[in-house]
Amino acid sequence: MSGFHPYCIVTAGCHPPQGLTGLDGASVHGFDVGRFTVWVSEERAAPPADLERVTAHHAVVAAAVAATTALPVRFGSWVPSHEALAARIQESGDDLEAALASAAGRIEMGVSVRDVASPPEVPERRNAPRTVDGAYPDGRSYLRALSRSYSVRHERRRQQDEVAAEIARRLAEVAPETRVQYPEPPALLSVAHLIARGDEARYRSLLAGLGRTPQYAGRLHVTGPWPPYSFATT
């Protein structure tokens, strides 16, 4: 018995073009669930996340976005039957409808910001001493190290919030809907924006202006347009 690999969710009645293929060359077809149609292909099990299959998944989503408003489904969201897929969609029906309405006529753009150069290492003599096995010799040394670690994290989050606020201010008229991620170094911040189709050049221009300021020079990287991956609810 085969299961199904879902690619995206669209409004009811919008089916894939004839001949569209997805993972492993499987035919993509539409499965109607109430207010929605889900683009799927048959798959016996959850597929491994290799480059070829992830690329095929994205190609189907991109085809949907080119034709209509579509919400991408996360890669690997395999379901064993039509019944299981229908139950999953119906459970989130109101949220999906709201997300489709929000994404109508829009695409996703993104900007990432690299960290500033890391400060020089604190000389070892100023670090809390440790024993040979790496443990702290006493509670005071541990608490000092913990305090330093907290201060570093606090300062990093302060910088992230400051950068996020500046990006939001610059893009307020173009991109009111955002999704912010706080990655590990060397990245400082990653922000996805849902913008109107046709506003891509303005989006890039506004961020290019920010990238020419001394604080952000050489640190900004803009990507897109993409299907609204960051704004999907499934």
In order, the DSSP letters of 7-50 are EEEEETT-PPPTT-B-GGGPBPEEEEETTEEEEEEEESSPPP--
State the Cα–Cα distance between residues 176 and 103, nearest whole angstrom.
12
pLDDT interval class at 143 (50, 70, 90): confident
pLDDT at 136: 64
The residue type found at 198 is G
pLDDT at 130: 54
79 three-class SS: strand
Cis bond upstream, residue 225 (ω within 30): yes
User: Which stretch of 50-59, 133-142, 156-165 has the lowest confidence by average pLDDT?
Assistant: 133-142
Cα dihedral 6, 10, 12, 17 sign: negative
Average pLDDT, integer, range 1-9: 89
pLDDT interval class at 121 (50, 70, 90): very low
pLDDT interval class at 39 (50, 70, 90): very high
Average pLDDT, integer, range 139-160: 77
State the Cα–Cα distance between residues 208 and 163, nearest whole angstrom.
15
pTM of the model: 0.78
State the Cα–Cα distance between residues 107 and 112, nearest whole angstrom.
17
State the Cα–Cα distance between residues 79 and 116, nearest whole angstrom.
44
The more confidently predicted of residues 144 and 48 is 48
Residue 133 has pLDDT above 80, yes or no: no
Share of the chain above pLDDT 90, in %: 67
177 three-class SS: strand
Residue 8 has pLDDT above 60, yes or no: yes
Gyration radius from the chain CA atoms:
23
Q: Are 57 and 78 in contact (CB under 8 A)?
A: no
**Alpha carbon distances (Å) from 53 to 105, 138, 225:** 27, 52, 21
pLDDT at 118: 47
Average pLDDT, integer, range 194-222: 93
pLDDT at 119: 42
Average pLDDT, the chain: 87
The segment with the largest mean pLDDT, out of 138-142, 149-153, 224-228, is 224-228
Half-sphere exposure of 71 (CA within 13 A, CB side): 24
State the Cα–Cα distance between residues 17 and 229, nearest whole angstrom.
21
